[in-house]
Amino acid sequence: MKRGDVVVMVIAGELGKPHPGIVVQADELGDNTTSVLVCPLSSDVRDHARLRPMIEPTAENGLRLRSQIMTDKMLALRRERLRAVIGRIDSETGERLDRALLIVLGLAR
């Protein structure tokens, strides 16, 4: 799994229901970590454009519905909770995701 991959994940407490998410962990950490940082996606679109960038469904990202990347709900999930890579975000979406993460993490100046 690499940063920018769209994955199917199972979040504890969600009754095993799979959800899409985007890997945001740096590739330099490799496969040696026991957990992976992921931002979940939601098709329940809200007006939080700065914190929740939109992502349109494409063949490349594997999504079926227009969604928001919930950077304010970033999770560290055990690797076994990530089921499959279904696609990859494009560079424009990656830039919007990075800007939102800077705001959420208090790194934007």
Mapped onto helix, strand or coil, the DSSP state of residue 85 is strand
Burial of residue 94 (CB within 10 Å: 0-12, 13-18, 19+) is middle
How far is Cα 30 from Cα 36, in angstroms, rounded to an integer?
A: 10
* pTM of model > 0.85: yes
* Distance separating alpha carbons of residues 101 and 33, to the nearest angstrom: 21
pLDDT of residue 46: 80
pLDDT by residue (tens digit) across 75-95?
Answer: 999 999 999 999 999 999 999
Classify domain 5-104 by CATH number.
2.30.30.110
